[in-house]
Amino acid sequence: MTLDQIKPGTECLIKKLTVREKLGQRLLDMGVYPGLKLKVLRNAPLEDPMEVEVDGYFVSLRHEEARFVEVQLP
């Protein structure tokens, strides 16, 4: 399952990042890395982007970027 498919209000576990280089490094630098719990908080009024909470920290990202984050529902 990938992060873009997670409905708001759901918690999940980050399994893997399937992208490297610029986007992959950026995800890491913003605190999205495997092993962490992540909660999808909401989608923007026009559905995209989405806001997530990771480690007490709030980040928004586009769905096309969230596609590269593999997650697992608990």
Partner 1 sequence: MRAQKRLIALAGQPNSGKSTVFNTLTGATQHVANYPGVTVDKMTGWYRHDGTRVEVVDLPGTYSLTSYSPEERVSRDFILHETPSLAVNVLDASNLKRSLYLTFQLIEMGILLVLDLNMMDVAEKRGVEIDAHRLSERLGVPAVPTTMKKGRGKKELLDAIATVAEGKEPLRPARIDYVEMEPPFRTIEARLASETALAECYPLRWLAIKLMEGDREVKRLIRESHPDPDPFMKLVEQLRADFETRHQKAPEMHIAHRRYQAAGEISRSCIKPRAGLKYPLSDRVDRFVCHRFLGPTILVAVIWLLYYLSIVQGYNVTNYTWPVLAKIRSLTESLMPAPGFLDIPLIRSFSLWFVDSINALLNYVPIFFILFGLIAILEDSGYMPRMAFMVDRFFSRFGLHGQSTLPMVLGGIYVGGCAVPGVMSCKGIPDERSRLATILIIPILNCLAKVPLYVLLINIYFAAYKAWAMFFISTISLLMVLPVAKLLTLTVLKKKETAPFIMEMPSYHIPSLRAVLGRAVQRVWLFLRKITTIVAAVAVIIFVLMQFPGLSKERMAFFETKKATAVSAFLKRIQNTAYAGVITADNIMDFINYWNAYKDARLQAGGGAKAQALNKTYKRKNPEFFSIVRRQGANGKTVYRAARGLVRTRQQLLMDMKNERINQSFLGRMGKGLEPLTQWAGFNWRVNVALLSAFAAKESSVATLGALYESDVSGETLEQRMAKGEADFTPLHALALMLFMVLYPPCLATVIAVKVQTGSVKWMLFSMIHPMVLGVVVAILVFSGGSALGLSGLQAMAGFYGLALAATLFMGFFKNDIRSANTIKKGGNGHV
Q: Minimum Å distance from CB 15 to partner 1?
A: 12
CB atoms within 10 A of CB 71: 22
18 binds partner 1 (CB under 8 A): no
Helix (H) or strand (E) holding 50: strand 50-54
Q: Shortest distance, CB of residue 41 to partner 1, whole angstroms?
A: 6
Rg of the chain's alpha carbons, rounded to an integer? 11
State the DSSP H helix or E strand holding residue 32, giving kind and residue range, or none if neither. none
Does 74 contact partner 1 by CB under 8 A? no
Please give the residue ranges that form the binding site for partner 1 (CB under 8 A).
4-5, 7-9, 17, 20-35, 41-49, 51, 53, 55-65, 67
